[in-house]
Structure 1
Amino acid sequence: MGMSGVRSGVLSGVLGITLAIAWAGSVLSAQARDELVEKGSKLFRQCQSCHQVGPKARHAVGPYLNNIFGRRAGTLEGFRYSDAMEQAGQGGLVWDETALARFIGDPSGTVKGTRMKFRGLTAEPDQKALVAFIRQHSPGPSNIPETPPTAPVHASAGDPDLPEHILSIAGDPAYGEYLSSECVTCHQASGEDKGIPSITSWPARRFVAVMHAYRSKHRENPVMRSVAASLTDEEIASLAVYFETLE
């Protein structure tokens, strides 16, 4: 499995407003999906000593797990995999729900010779929950677009009003650039639209309003909710002023 800061060869993503999790032909309701992801987030605590996920994820004992879905095993740049994991990838192992659940259930049995010293989650419901949680950090083509590809994302009438002291936080554009690596895995820093609306040249206040709407769950996208929840007010402000300066 994989985890770090800057990604290459990552499956281009389309963020989803409902992000239904399909498993064995079934599609979960929004409530059931949220409950499954919540359970998975608790199970992930068993993984945190080796793996990271989220906007600030970096390689640790194990690789970071952002954008793992659709990636061939043992290929994430910047991490030194075991020979066994690299050979598994060369043999055709690509991480999807089924492959990841199988590996989570029996790491050493799935990839013989792996360095991962985790005994595995034998209960299928636990495997599904953990996979569902990790899936939130790997947006991809299976997700439903939040808006038509050419439509810009605006702070909407349903977004909560923010107090002036939040909107007026002075962000640091240099820090925003540092934080932006997670954003530009999906949103193009060049402003090019490849199925995900551009966020370059957005007015900073609009950016802040949208991110806080995701954080307060007034907007539905679970990936963006997770990203927004992981950022401080100052970090959101820094990202906002950084993207505002891009053309």
Structure 2
Amino acid sequence: MRLGAWTETVSRKVADIRFSELQIRTQNLLHVLTVTAAVGLTGNAASASDAERGASVYKKCRACHELGEGAKNGVGPHLDGLFGRTAGTLEGFKYSSALKKKGEEGLVWDETSLDAYLEKPRGFVPGTRMSFLGLKKAEDRADLITYLKQSTEAAPSDEANAPATDARPEIGAAAMALEGDIAYGEYLATECVTCHQTSGRADGIPSIVGWPKDAFIRALFEYKVNLRTNQVMQNMTVNMGNEEIAALAAYYGSLEPQ
């Protein structure tokens, strides 16, 4: 074989080898990209699924905590902007001294601290007014935290503590319009202290100390009209008038949690 022909043959073989290597590398790269995309899609689907399950778990929280557009403080503080917030510092809400102390000690709400708190609130913050017993299942806590993180990243609305703007008349609106007599409320509260501590502690019975006026009145009217089903509270409120309910709201709203 002539040298020129031999050189040409070798060159073609080298080119073929290089092309084959390039094909293999390209196939490997496409495989990696395909796997990565699949993992990403699976992760996103799992995240969406976690958030959906978390929304269901949140139903246990929403009686006390609002979140989203127009969220306001009620029985519990609203949850907008929760992550990264120092515990016990949301303006306009009366926290227990136990939770404020935790904040002063450096407790900030994040995935880790919320998981510990949600597992057993009164174990993590002894003396908290939060009467919720906790979520035992780690999966439920993780799903709830995923949902809260997705739902509360937006900054709190400027109207976070504004009155509700629902077109329907607010239940108890007439009582809410009254300026309750604190002294009269203290007198009426002698019927309440059998169960509810004026210290604000929640040892088996929810604390009602420091509740916002509208939330307090709304709750009593919901018992009064049987929207809430505790028989003792229904019996206590059935004959209460607007002035009595407004007075109790004023008295308990004037107390500072200990």
TM-score interval, smaller chain:
0.3 to 0.5
Name the structure with the higher helix share. Answer: 2
TM-score, with normalisation over the residues of structure 2? 0.44
Q: Which has the larger radius of gyration?
A: 2
